[in-house]
């Protein structure tokens, strides 16, 4: 059997994973190069305990981004700041941070809270000579919102998104979710399709099965998931609404039904089918089930993903002798080889800005996550472990989540697009794999 055929069968059969309320993100590399920022605990203006400290969520988000490093709370010159009106520029003169996040929270009605937050450009404030004419000289943003107790964590992510975009010019991706497959062989139905906030909180099970589940893929609106299920003793592709739980069987042909990927308009799926012989790439209209064969080659073609403009597909093929990445233009059927370095390159997808191709690279027997700049064709290996797989790019293009092996178990991990920052998402029991990062929600 050819190399890619072995890989494909492993992908269909080797599905393992865990269950717990949250995946804990452990940062492993890249903190020293991050940009310092100060996040002051939000001031509570009520008589009963605050439901949750929003600043904890913001600090965790910014640290997990790999871009920022929140300074220790004990080193803050003002810890009961609340609003910029109380900001003392002289007190902050020796603090090495580029910005300060502060805010207040107060009861506003039955299960309602008024949250105010402000973002100060600390570098600009420190450079002011004789004091600014007004706080607007160094105030980067200010928002006021009414939320419920259940929305504290969500609004913390919203603040993080605003701070990240104001300071980097890149949209934040903290209000996103991830889908993944969990397996615990102690359970009667060990396979579970899960979704959670990007940081592992608010975990929700969409489906439980005694047979393997794999390859979850998000729709562009973040409302549906496509996935492969063996619950009926054969590979089938389903699309499921994560809110109503209703689902539709899209393909159930004999042989392989695998690797679904939503088109940018959400109306079609690219997938791998072997109903006509060797595995090839097809496109199916979700509503009408109309099928179009995209590749027709004696070699195995699989793992298709869409280019951002929806005009082409990136896919894995061993038509050149070993698994490599190719692009096929849907209108003309023209196929172009994209990767040449290393022994294998497979499972590729393009970032939303169209600049980067992320994939699994095998060199010297090691499977690692790699990135190729589509303009310069420069390839950079981002990870350094041995069995990395299933990369999925954050919607803002700054991070990649993927599956790997740690201490003999399959876990999720994340790496920044430049390879500098790394984190691991360990679990308490079982194993987890096949991550998929949602679009912006």
Q: What is the pLDDT of residues 219-264, one digit of tens each?
A: 999 999 999 999 999 999 999 999 999 999 999 999 999 999 999 9
Look at residue 385 in the predicted model and tell me its pLDDT: 83
- pLDDT for 126 equals 86
Contacts of 366 (CB under 8 A, 6+ apart): 385, 386
| Coil/strand/helix, residue 118 | strand
CA–CA distance, 64 with 67 (Å, rounded to integer): 8
Tens digits of residue pLDDT in 2-18? 444 433 333 333 333 33
> What mean pLDDT is predicted for residues 133-149?
88
End-to-end CA distance of the chain: 42
Q: Could you read off the pLDDT of 256-268 as tens digits, one per residue?
A: 999 999 999 999 9
- pLDDT at residue 409 is higher than 90: no
Distance (Å, whole) CA 34 – CA 381: 20
Q: Is 317 exposed, middle or buried (0-12, 13-18, 19+ CB in 10 A)?
A: buried
pLDDT tens sequence across 116-136: 999 999 999 888 755 555 677
Structure-token match 């690692």, residue found: 368
409 HSE (CA, 13 A, CB side): 18
pLDDT at 2: 41
In this prediction, residue 129 carries a pLDDT of 53
Q: Which is nearest to 420 in space by CA: 33, 69, 27?
A: 33
Average pLDDT, the chain: 90
């Amino acid at each position: 059997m050819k190399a890619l055929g072995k890989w494909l069968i492993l992908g269909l059969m080797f599905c393992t994973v865990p269950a717990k309320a949250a995946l804990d993100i452990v940062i492993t590399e890249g903190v020293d190069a991050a940009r310092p920022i100060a996040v002051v605990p939000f001031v509570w203006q009520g008589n009963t305990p605050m439901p949750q400290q929003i600043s904890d969520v913001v600090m965790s988000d910014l640290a997990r981004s790999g871009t920022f490093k929140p300074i220790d709370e004990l080193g803050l010159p003002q810890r009961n700041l609340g609003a910029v009106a109380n900001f003392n520029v002289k007190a902050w003169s020796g603090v090495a941070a580029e910005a300060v996040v502060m805010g207040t929270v107060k009861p506003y009605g039955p299960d309602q809270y008024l949250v105010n937050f402000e973002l100060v450009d600390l570098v600009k404030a420190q450079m002011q000579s004789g004091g600014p004419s007004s706080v607007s000289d160094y105030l980067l943003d200010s928002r006021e919102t009414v939320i419920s107790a259940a929305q504290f964590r969500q609004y913390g992510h919203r603040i993080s998104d605003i701070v990240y975009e104001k300071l980097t010019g890149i949209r934040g991706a903290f209000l996103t979710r991830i889908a993944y497959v969990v397996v615990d062989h102690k359970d009667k139905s060990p396979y579970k399709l899960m979704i959670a906030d990007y940081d592992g909180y608010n975990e929700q099970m969409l489906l439980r099965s005694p047979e393997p589940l794999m390859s979850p893929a998000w729709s562009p609106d973040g409302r549906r998931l496509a996935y492969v299920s063996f619950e009926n003793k054969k590979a089938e592709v389903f699309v499921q609404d994560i809110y109503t739980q209703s689902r539709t069987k899209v393909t159930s042909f004999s042989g392989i039904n695998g690797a679904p990927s939503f088109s940018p308009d959400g109306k079609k799926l690219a997938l791998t089918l072997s109903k006509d012989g060797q595995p090839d790439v097809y496109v199916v209209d979700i509503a009408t089930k109309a099928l179009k064969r995209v590749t027709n080659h004696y070699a195995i073609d699989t793992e298709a993903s869409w280019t951002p403009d929806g005009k082409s597909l990136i896919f894995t093929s061993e038509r050149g002798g070993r698994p490599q990445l190719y692009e096929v233009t849907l209108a003309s059927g023209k196929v172009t080889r994209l990767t040449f370095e290393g022994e294998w390159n497979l499972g590729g997808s393009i970032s939303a800005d169209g600049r980067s191709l992320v994939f699994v690279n095998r060199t010297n027997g090691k499977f690692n996550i790699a990135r190729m700049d589509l303009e310069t064709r420069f390839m950079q290996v981002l990870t350094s472990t041995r069995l990395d797989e299933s990369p999925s790019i954050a919607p803002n293009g700054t991070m990649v989540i993927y599956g790997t092996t740690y201490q003999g178990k399959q876990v999720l991990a994340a790496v920044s697009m430049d390879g500098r920052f790394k984190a691991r998402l360990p679990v308490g029991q079982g194993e987890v794999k096949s991550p998929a990062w949602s679009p912006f929600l």
